[in-house]
Chain A
Amino acid sequence: MDLILPYIATLAIFFFVYNILTWGLNIQFGYAGVLDFTFITFVACGAYFSGVFALGPGQKSTGFEWILGLSWPFPIALVMGALAAGLLGIVIGLIAVNRLRSDYMAIVTLATGTVIYGLVSNYTPLFDGFDGLAGLQTPFSQWLNINYNQFTYLWVGFCAVVMVICWFIAQRILNSPLGRTMRAIREDQEAAEAFGKDSFRVRLIAMSMGAVLAGVGGALLMGFIGAFNPAGWTSGETFVVWAALIVGGRGNNWGGVVGSFVVAVLVNEATRYIPPIPGNATLIPTVRNMLIGASLIAVLWLRPEGIIPEARRRFYQLPLLPGRRTPAEGMGSAGS
């Protein structure tokens, strides 16, 4: 019991965090069709900035240096991390979404992310370079006297609360006229522009809101682990989130839940606790990546729209003005 419960709690935290991440990518790609191949950069942005807002000042003499170091309470640091990621989303959006489409957009996001990765891991005054941030006190420890296991359970609850807030953000955008316009732009950007939709502005909103959720997820990871460095956000991590979204089903947030459970929790995180096989240290990580790739291929072959496809919006869900008669069924259909 002493081992199983914390293990399950840890998986629950990863599940909740990956839910938030897949919803974020869903806003960018599933709603608005933005091919963001550097999603993990926004996660890292949230983790780093929540870290430097919550950590004490870094000191060059001790070998730890980073910007800010304000020792703010973690919930506020989390909000700052999310905002920083949202701003970065706008910046990368300005570069990638403006004038570029589909594959070009994807390549530019990837390239921009690589530039940022190189900068952050080599320029130590920012986030201590390749060593990264470390030594974050467990959040809430200044108010509560709890041991590490108790903190894990507390963090499950905190992540759940944050996740519910993120769910409402994602759902409200999806079900609003803004979400409808995003989906129209995803389907046919040029046609949407011919109806007066400023596709650049709308895609920038999608990019930025997706990045905010990514930043929230990153901050939750930072708070849980207490450390973050470039080894944790290699570009391969982006594709774990992508695989989760494609496998689960894009364009709806339940698909994101299923995908993050199957891909991110069952395959990616649960297998991290299997002890390495002696003499074959890299076997498990390799099999893990193969499983993710195989699940992606299987879904694209057998059920390309994902396990849970985008829901069709039925008209009776739309409220009619009072006094409006119900449209008669069974009228003659249009010609041809």
Chain B
Amino acid sequence: MPGADAFLRVEHLSHSFGGFKAVDDCTFEIARGSISALIGPNGAGKSTAVGLIAGALKVQSGRVFFDGQEVTRLPAYKMARRGLLRTYQVSREFPLLTVMENLLVPPPDQRGESLLNALFRPSVGRRQDAALASRAVDVLETYGLLPLRDEYAGNLSGGEKRLLELARAEMANPKFMLLDEPMAGINPALIARLDGHIRRLRDQSGITFLLVEHNLDVVERICDQVVVMASGRTLAEGSMAELRQNPEVVRAYLGGGLDERAVG
């Protein structure tokens, strides 16, 4: 049975592309209010699992529970409305929208999105936009992106796009953030800023995090709990310290990384 404190629980999830089993009987749970990591070698099925949880892929077998309710096979936009926010391995900003507009898209329950309000009561949308823009200014300031507010998001640097992803995610008021390699391809100074933001969001807003991450230093520094996947299955769960003692995990994934660190 799902534990009372589990925010996300995945049960016997399997998914094949053609004949290839990308996810194979994968089971794990993520504690409410934790920052957790999903690690594993390339091809372990992590991104597929993320897609299945987020509703971008249709679950073929197995079940997903989110915030105490079964959400198996809910489409992506409905998962988002229940408070799940996912990001992608590559930044998925809206290139021809400005940074500011990118932040105004995510907030839920925008009354100006109704056709009747758009046509006959434009002030409804404008008033809500004013409040959202005011909040977006604060968020942009937090991430140091305020000077770029009128820039097309497509013109930002790789690092700025990563910050924008998180800023945008914050505007959506999620309960759970599912971040697929949020630190991929950015410099160490910015990594420190990003993980600072993640901890701040957990502490201030109580958001639960699940990160797919290859950078084990980051995982060690900020994650309470780690799920290891290999060949589509859950190999082990626990803290980084525990996992390092697990010979199976070391063989499958940690080996190289651990040795390097032991030397360095």
Contact = CB atoms under 8 A, between A and B. Distances in A.
B76 interface: yes
Interface stretch (B39-47, B98-106, B199-207): B98-106
Contacts of A321: 130-131, 134
Given A193-B77, A194-B54, A319-B126, 12 more contacts: A181-B110, A181-B113, A183-B96, A184-B97, A190-B56, A192-B105, A194-B77, A199-B77, A312-B150, A312-B152, A332-B147, A335-B189
Instruction: Tell me the dominant secondary structure on chain A's binding face.
Output: loop
Contacts of A280: none
A319 B129 CA distance: 8
Interface of B: 54, 56, 75-78, 80-81, 85-88, 92-98, 100-101, 104-106, 108, 110-115, 117-119, 122, 125-126, 128-131, 133-134, 137, 141, 143-150, 152, 157-160, 163, 168, 172, 186-187, 189-190, 193
A315 interface: yes
B90 to A, nearest CB: 10
Contacts, number: 172
Contact of B94 (A177, A183, A205, A327): A183
A180 B145 CA distance: 20
A180 B105 contact: yes
Contacts of B93: 188, 191
A336 B186 contact: yes
Contacts of B85: 194-195
A119 B130 CA distance: 50
Q: How large is the interface on A (under 10, 10 to 19, 20 to 34, 35 or more residues)?
A: 35 or more
Interface of A: 169, 172-173, 175-181, 183-184, 187-188, 190-199, 202, 205, 209, 251, 310, 312-315, 318-321, 324, 327-336
A20 B91 CA distance: 37
Contact of A313 (B94, B101, B148, B189): B101
Contacts of B129: 177, 318-319
A336 B88 contact: no
Contact of B150 (A176, A190, A198, A315): A315
A180 B171 CA distance: 15
